[in-house]
Amino acid sequence: MTTLSPTPRSTVRRLPLRARTDRADLYAVLDAGMVCHLGIVLGGAPVVLPTGYGRIDDTLYLHGSTGAATLRAAARGEPVCVTVTHVDGIVHARAVMHFSMNYRSAVVHGVPRLVTGDAERLDGLRAITENMSPGSWAHARGPNRRELAATAVLALELAEASVKVRTGPPGDDDEDVAAGGVWAGVLPVRTVFDPPQPCPLLPPDVPVPAHVTDRH
C-alpha cells in the first residue's frame, strides 16, 4: 500500500489542500523527527507527553519504563495518538489572522501492541536508538537482561494516519495585497546541531565518532 487510505478520523478536514496522501510523505515526516507527542486517555482526560520513537516499515515503535502510567495504559490496549511536527517557518501575512506556520506534521491513530518477542523487542529498541542517533546502536553497549526487563516496547501499525504540509508564502486577501504597506513573507525555521560536548567522565583522547560529527 503506497497511499494512505483515510478513515473518517484520519481525513484532513481543515484546509484539505494541505493533506498529503502518499505513504512516502508519512515516512519522511516521521523519519525526520526526534520526538513525538504521544496522546493517551487517562481517567477520561487526555495526556500528551513527548517521547522518542523509531520506525521499521509500517510499524512505529515506542518504549518506556514498565512503571510509566502512559506506557502501561497503552500496553493495556488503550487507543493512542502519535503526532510528529516539524516547524519550517513563520508565515508573516499582511493581516494578523492570516499568520500561519510552514510545517510538516504526521498524526497516527491506533491501539498499540505490547511487543513480547525478544527479537522484535530488540528490533524496536534499535529503531528507537537509531532514530535518535543513527549509528549509535552499533557504537554503544547493547541492552542487558536487567535493562530489558525494565523496558516496555510498544508497536503501533501505520494503518490510520494523516500528513499535513504547509509550504510557501502567506495566503493574504487581495485587498490587503493591494493596500500594501505591510511586510509579508516567511521567516524560515531550522533545527541545527551544535558541536558535540563530550561527557566530562570521558578520557580526553577519545575521538568523537563520525556518526556524531557528521550529523546535520
CB of 216 to its own copies, least distance (A): 11
Our CB check for its own copies shows the closer of 2 and 144 to be 144
Nearer to its own copies, 12 or 114 (CB): 12
Contacts of 61 (CB under 8 A, 6+ apart): 53, 54, 55, 115, 123, 124, 125, 127, 128, 153, 154, 155, 156
Q: Round to whole Å and give the CA distance between 109 and 162.
A: 9
For its own copies, the closer CB: 37 or 113:
37
Least separation in angstroms between residue 59's CB and its own copies is 19
Compute the least distance from the CB of residue 120 to its own copies, in Å.
16
What's the min distance (Å) between Cβ of 186 and its own copies? 5
Query: Phi-psi category of 168—alpha, beta or left, where left has phi over 0 and alpha has psi -120 to 50?
Result: left
- Give, rounded to a whole angstrom, the gap between the first and last alpha carbons of the chain: 31
Q: Cell numbers for 11, please give them.
A: 481525513
Closest CB 201 distance from its own copies, rounded Å = 5
Which residues have C-beta within 8 Å of that of residue 191, sequence separation ≥ 6?
86
Cβ nearer to its own copies, comparing 2 with 85: 85
Return the number of the residue (20 or 126) whose C-beta is nearest its own copies: 126
